[in-house]
Structure 1
Amino acid sequence: MADLPPARLRPFKPAFFSTGMDCSGPFQVKVGRRTEKRWGIIFKCLTTRGVHLDLLNTIDADSFLMALRRFIARRGTPAELYSDQGTNFRGGERGLREAFAALSPDLQLQLGKQKISFHFNPPAAPHFGGVWEREIRSVKVALYTTVGAQSVPEEVLSLNDPDPVTPNVLLMGRPDGSLPQIVYPETDLLSRRHWRHSQILANHFWSSFLRNYLPSLQTRQKWHAMKTDLIKGTVVMLDPQLPRAMWPVGHVTKGHPSADGHVRSADVQINDRTYTRPVARLVALPALPMEPHIEPCMHSHTHR
């Protein structure tokens, strides 16, 4: 079992500094006398597990970028976003990259510090994003319990309440996540300046977070034995979802090691196509034995 990824270990950073995101739905909503589809999008802080929910009118890149702008306006600009290979996420990342490249060099220099780093999980690997995938399940259960299968007005699914006082605000010490965080010495704990006092209390919280909570996340409950990493040329079979006679078999052309050096996903060539899949979806096959090379022999005449 791998160590926790660095995105899960961002203490003393603003909430949503490292964020995972995904979409769910569609949901049926009432618009006048007709019904339309809406999708939900979740942004989850990978360190504090804070959750931000929003609605999408469509499942394309433009709708995602508008939701991202609303998220940034309320939670601050994240440094890194993690998601699956959704076409809306891919298209949004490509649109932002092209828009940044079209800026003048001066603007690029000024805005370069606010660039968001996108990280995409391999295809067919939902377990790479288990932190936010599990949260989507919780949201769906809550929605279906309260709303059920009925169509509701769009306002019912929209979050129109003003920002309440949440653990997120208490952790950051401010409602705006884009403001810089200042660390004060503990000698100011008894200061009459309450704003410094609250910041020191937040630092105490992070110390407790590192000492008491993080060790519980690193408990390895399974996968204790070390496995051999896939190497180039290994013959593998993609996790069969087809009839037995149609199982796809190919060979590994490239491995993608993670931060701990172990290969967690690989490129597999099958005929003239290359697929990127996690190793959990690949079945390594034993190497075929080489046929013995038989030297031709001259038949001699036997004498009786």
Structure 2
Amino acid sequence: MSIRRFAARRGLPTKILSDNGTSFVGANRQMCEFYSDGVQDFAASKCIEWCFIPPAAPFMGGCWERLVKTVKSALLVTLKERSPREELLHTLLLEAEALVNSRPLTYVTENGQYESLTPFHFLIGTSSNQQTPARLNDGAFSLRKEWQKVLRLSEHFWGRWLKEYLPSLRPKKSTGSQHENLKVDDVVLVVDPDMPRGVWPMGRIVEVFPGRDGIVRIADVATKGGTLRRPVRKLARLQTVVV
């Protein structure tokens, strides 16, 4: 059923990666028993490849499991002690989907200009063009206007999801090692939970300030809004794709 919903919204995929959970394995067995060779024939005619990761190897699905975990954790906090109506919850989930798909994956350089590359570029061919509404406060929950409630919930989700997702952009240190220092001309994301939701400030490092031990802990970042001085804990380096 989830594959049908995905195909209805995004089109038929060319490759499906699935873990070896009992629900997926059981669904695969039941579909094969019910449709006989029909499922394989349909997948072959549409050039769809369905692959299971090896059993007892959930870490091989880490590329999607980590992201799913951040979204679940953010929703758990956002909806704590709240029971929105089905329509409001559905809208919130779509807002969350849009925020996750607007995250920069990397950046491209063309004629000396930087542009972030997001999942939306692969889904709709461009970055998200949704407008950022005015900031609301929790007083919106006492109003009868449902659209204001869902916007406020979206802001709660955004703030919490940033706390869950952004640490994953900085690789964990192995024992006895340290993060690679940021350097001049590195392109980074500026981690700012106070920014409006869906806004990802990106800039280029113009100066770094190493300590006596040689570790860079502060850097100046040139952004569209001016030069900002930030601790490296609030900066996430982006990898480059040269066009």
State TM-score, norm by structure 1: 0.29
Which structure has the bigger radius of gyration? Answer: 1
Relative to its length, the structure with more helix (as a share) is: 2
TM-score (norm 2): 0.35
